Amino acid sequence: MRRGNMILAAASALTLALASCGGGSKSPVTPAGVARLTTIDFANVADYANPRLPAYFDATVKALDNSPATNAVNNRVATLGRVLFYDLRLSTNNHASCASCHQQRFGFTDPMRFSNGISTAAITDFHAMRLGNLRYWQPGTTFWDRRAASVEAQASHPLHSLIELGWGGPAGGLDALMRKMAATELYPDLFAWAFGSPAITEPRIQQALAQFLRAMISSSSRWDQGYARVFSPTAPNRALDRDLPNFTAAENRGRHLFMTSAAQGGANCSSCHLPPTFALAADSGSNGLDAGEKRLFKAPSLRSVGLTGPYMHDGRFQTLAEVVEFYDHGVQDGPALDHRLREGRAPRRLNLSAADKAALVAFLMTLNDDALIKDPRFSDPFRR
Ligand code: HEC
Ligand code: HEC
């Protein structure tokens, strides 16, 4: 906390310096250089730190937030994260950035089953993950197989990866990347502006990317517009099973199936994909894609899931209809299979009608968040 305050204090001293000398030679930012390369308005820094959240993003949602106290979102650091996320210079050959595989218009994923990074000759082992509501997942681990401990730790992986941004082994590691960044007309000034000194370090890169990623909150889908009108913290199940006034009959049927348990005639999806964030429940076991599965995977939030397939860690399903078919009658038994997908000892069979399957897909489509995919705060800041 105290360290954060000091950084903030240093940062506002720099604003004053910048304002009073009008971007002169003593300014910590070289406005000419940064402005030449990016469209960022340094006089009006975008707000990442104080999101306007719906009433139902209350204490129950805050409890899921994996933001560490040591890296609370700060507008300048998150702005630096935005530049890093979109900068092709962060790859060895200037061909790829985080945004190559995490494309805003698709909810920050890639329509390709496996992604290309620095070269079209190589592909990733897994399907790229959507990034909205990444912060609402305890214990905060990242990647499908949960192997990175935090969003901060994750941020270094694509940099090191020989397939993604290419800095591993022969390319010289992150030291070579940081030397490349230090030689740009962008980064020494931007790091000084964000952190109070120009040093480019791996922890600072991690902090900036993690802040930018955690700021990607999704709370403006059609489901949100409807739910905001019926939500009540004291209603049974927080009114999640109320019909929404802006939904079609099929969407409301799909919503009911998603939100309710088998006892209430539902498919119980919401017991793992938790509304209102639709991020995965911390205690979710396997969803039984493969027989004998022992591994535990996470799922990204289902928000914007309808913008593009394919689905699951290996992108095995092309469409949401295929996903629903799988949950209907394809769940496989294995040691890691979650109890919520069992009926007695056997994998659960939903045996939904064709109309109910279509309704479930129609509901999933209502989670698409047009505001997040058009939000200029998360768009490419570079002049290209
Ligand atoms: C070449 C494509 C590619 C590039 C470039 C790339 N990613 Fe990813 N990203 C992926 C894939 C594929 C996964 C899933 C990998 C896995 O689970 O092993 C992923 C997973 C993630 C996750 C985990 C999400 C979750 O819910 O656990 C985060 C966060 C992320 N990427 C952020 C970034 C950042 C930040 C960068 C740039 C520094 C980046 N990615 C660059 C393809 C890419
Ligand atoms: C036991 C908890 C659990 C339940 C119940 C559950 N899921 Fe999942 N779901 C998961 C897990 C875990 C994954 C990620 C699996 C993987 O890729 O290995 C997932 C993945 C998904 C995906 C793909 C996400 C992506 O980004 O590719 C969709 C869509 C989905 N589930 C929808 C549903 C629907 C619809 C229901 C109800 C019929 C449901 N889920 C019930 C745990 C669950």
Ligand 1 pocket: which of 102, 113, 297 to mutate (most atoms within 8 A of CB): 102
CB under 8 Å to 338, separation ≥6 — which residues?
A: 272, 284, 285, 286, 287, 288
Arithmetic mean of pLDDT, 71-75: 95
Q: Which residue has the higher pLDDT, 179 or 31?
A: 179
CB of 165 closer than 6 A to ligand 1?
A: yes
What confidence tier does 96 reach under pLDDT thresholds 50, 70, 90? Answer: very high
* Average pLDDT rounded to a whole number, residues 236-242: 96
Ligand 2, residue 324: give the atom nearest the CA: 35
Q: Exposure string (b/e) for 212-230, b if CB count within 10 Å is 16 or more?
A: bbbbbbbbbbbbbebbbeb
Residue 222, CA distances (Å) to 22, 65, 94, 228 in order: 44, 23, 38, 10
Atom 6, ligand 1: which residue's CA is nearest? 98
The two three-digit tokens of residue 56, written as one number: 């139902």
Residue among 372, 384, 376 at smallest CA distance from 109: 372
What was the pLDDT predicted at 32? Answer: 67
> What pLDDT does residue 16 have?
35
Task: Return the percentage of the chain with pLDDT > 70, whole number.
Answer: 92
For residues 334 and 294, is the Cβ–Cβ distance under 8 A?
Answer: yes
Rg, C-alpha atoms of the chain: 22
| Most ligand 2 atoms within 8 A of CB, residue of 312, 319, 356 to mutate | 312
Please compute, for residue 269, the number of CA atoms within 13 A of its CA located in the half-sphere on the CB side: 27
* Per-residue pLDDT at 29 exceeds 70: no
Burial label for 19, CB within 10 Å (0-12, 13-18, 19+), is exposed
Asked if 298 and 154 touch (Cβ cutoff 8 Å), the reply is: no
Question: Looking at residue 169, what is its pLDDT?
Answer: 84
pLDDT of residue 1: 35
Whole-number Å distance, alpha carbon 115 to ligand 1 midpoint, is: 10
CA of 1 from ligand 1 middle (Å) equals: 29
Burial of 232 (0-12, 13-18, 19+ CB in 10 A): exposed
Q: What is the mean pLDDT of residues 23-51?
A: 74
Name the region of 94 (left: φ>0; alpha: ψ -120 to 50; beta: rest).
left
pLDDT reported for residue 217: 98
Cα–Cα dist 78/343, whole Å: 45
Could you tell me which residues come within 8 angstroms of residue 130 by beta carbon, excluding any fewer than 6 positions away? 102, 106, 107, 108, 109, 300, 301, 303, 304, 305
Ligand lying nearest the CA atom of residue 283: 2
Asked if 304 and 134 count as a contact pair (C-beta separation under 8 A), the reply is no
Residue type at 37 in one-letter notation: L
Q: Find the 38 Cα to ligand 1 centroid distance in Å.
A: 24
Residue nearest to atom 40 of ligand 1 (CA): 98
Give residue for tokens 């230090």: 182
Q: How far is the C-alpha of 18 from the C-alpha of 50, rounded, in Å? A: 24
pLDDT, average across residues 3-22? 38
Measured in Å, residue 211 CA sits from the centre of ligand 1 at 15
The distance from CA 112 to its chain's CA centroid, rounded to whole angstroms, is 18
The verdict on the CB of residue 96 being under 6 Å from ligand 1 is yes
Contact 212, 57 (CB under 8 A): no
pLDDT score of 22 more than 70: no
The mean pLDDT of 259-276, rounded to a whole number, is 96
| CB of 108 closer than 6 angstroms to any ligand 2 atom | no
How close are the terminal C-alpha atoms of the chain, in Å?
38
**Is pLDDT at 178 greater than 80 in this prediction?**
yes
Q: Which atom of ligand 2 is nearest to the CA of 328?
A: 38
Query: What gap in Å lies between CA 64 and CA 170, rounded to an integer?
Result: 40
Nearest of 333, 321, 330 to residue 363 by alpha carbon: 321
> Could you read off the pLDDT of 287-331 as tens digits, one per residue?
999 999 999 999 999 999 999 999 999 999 999 999 999 999 999
Tell me the CA–centroid distance for residue 270 and ligand 2, in Å.
10
Instruction: Tell me how far the alpha carbon of residue 232 is from its chain's centroid.
Output: 27
Cα atoms in the Cβ-side hemisphere of radius 13 Å centred on 220: 12
In whole angstroms, give the CA distance from residue 246 to residue 226.
Answer: 6
Tell me the pLDDT band of 377, cut-offs 50, 70 and 90. Answer: very high
4 C-beta neighbours (distance < 10 Å), count = 14
- From atom 26 of ligand 1, which residue's Cα is the shortest distance away? 300
Question: Is residue 216 within 6 Å of ligand 1 at its C-beta?
Answer: no
Ligand nearest to the CA of 134: 1
**Where residue 24 falls among pLDDT bands split at 50, 70, 90?**
very low
> How far does residue 158's CA lie from ligand 1's centre (Å)?
7
Both tokens assigned to 243? 């019909």
pLDDT for residue 302: 98
**In the prediction, which pLDDT does 31 show?**
56
Question: What pLDDT, on a 0 to 100 scale, did the predictor assign at position 121?
Answer: 83
Distance 128 CA to ligand 1 centre (A): 6
CA distances to 6, 19, 62, 347 from 187, in Å: 21, 20, 33, 53
pLDDT of 350 > 90? The answer is yes
Ligand closest in space to the Cα of 137: 1
What residue owns the CA closest to ligand 2's atom 39? 269
**Planar angle of CA 241, 244, 250, nearest 5 degrees:** 90
Average pLDDT over residues 319-348: 97
Cβ(178) – ligand 1 distance below 6 Å: no
The CB of 107 under 6 Å from ligand 1? The reply is no
Structure confidence at residue 226 (pLDDT): 98
pLDDT of residue 23: 33
* Least confident piece of the model among 7-11, 119-123, 282-286, 305-309: 7-11
Question: What confidence score (pLDDT) does residue 92 get?
Answer: 94
In angstroms, the CA 44 to CA 78 distance is 14
| Ligand 2 site, residue 267, Cβ cutoff 6 A | yes
Q: Ligand 2 in contact with 272 (CB < 6 A)?
A: yes
Least confident of 42-51, 97-106, 278-287, 334-343: 42-51
According to the model, what pLDDT value does residue 34 have?
82
pLDDT, mean over the chain = 91
